[in-house]
């Protein structure tokens, strides 16, 4: 077999020869796309000013503590996306660890669950105490529209009689019913009675 030519996947933009270089003392140099050159120059100059006269730089920072003081702000190289709250992430991971556990009506874990028992147990692992039933859980946290669901949000279905946790990609992680273990099921907008976001 002949030698294979290197290819690029297109996952990252190519850095041009005229790329700007961020110099981070004690760490190294990093090339970024040249369209960030003005911000990079500001950053590098701020570092040099600090190295030359730390006292004056700290005093100036104390006088201008707000972000972007004097027009300086670090470049935003990557877009920011809203992330699920920490409790929701922890709770979802806890629930995911129970995939395959048996459904048992009235069970609250840790080895078998009913629907609201799984949600309550998962959030308890994140330090959040939720009420016991799906009807009670339908009133906790803040309401969320279907199109704004994030992993870890509580989703109430079946007229209020069933609850699970949104797992992303249109999937609900839930203790389904007798004979069906904790698993992922498809979630459609017309199934949702309410969705709730727990932030703390």
Rounded CA-CA distance 112/38 in Å is 58
Question: Is the CB of residue 43 less than 8 Å from the CB of residue 36?
Answer: no
The per-residue b/e assignment along 84-116, b for 16 or more CB within 10 angstroms, e otherwise, is bbebbebbbebbeebeebebeeebbbeebbbbb
Catalytic entry in 35, 53, 162, 190: 162
Residue 19 φ then ψ, to 5°: -60, 145
Catalytic entry in 44, 139, 174, 186: 174
Active site residue 81: no
Active site residue 44: no
Active site residue 53: no
Query: 173: helix, coil or strand?
Result: strand
Question: Is the CB of residue 104 less than 8 Å from the CB of residue 113?
Answer: yes
Catalytic entry in 35, 70, 115, 139: 115
List residues with catalytic annotation: 115, 162, 174
């Amino acid at each position: 077999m002949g030698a294979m030519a290197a290819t690029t996947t297109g996952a990252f933009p190519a850095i041009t020869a005229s790329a700007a270089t961020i110099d981070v003392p004690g760490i190294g140099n990093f090339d970024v796309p040249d369209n960030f050159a003005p911000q990079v120059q500001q950053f590098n100059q701020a570092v040099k000013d600090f190295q030359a006269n730390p006292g004056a730089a700290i005093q100036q920072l104390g006088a201008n503590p707000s972000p972007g003081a004097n027009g300086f702000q670090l470049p935003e190289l990557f877009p920011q996306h809203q992330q699920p709250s920490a409790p929701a992430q922890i709770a979802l991971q806890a629930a995911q660890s129970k995939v395959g556990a048996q459904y048992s009506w009235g069970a609250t874990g840790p080895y078998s669950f009913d629907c609201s028992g799984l949600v309550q147990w998962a959030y308890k692992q994140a330090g959040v105490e939720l009420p016991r039933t799906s009807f009670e859980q339908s009133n906790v946290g803040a309401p969320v529209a279907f199109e704004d669901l994030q992993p870890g949000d509580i989703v109430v279905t079946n007229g209020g009689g069933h609850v699970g946790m949104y797992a992303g990609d249109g999937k609900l992680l839930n203790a389904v019913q007798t004979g069906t273990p904790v698993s992922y099921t498809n979630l459609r907008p017309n199934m949702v009675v309410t969705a709730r976001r727990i932030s703390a």
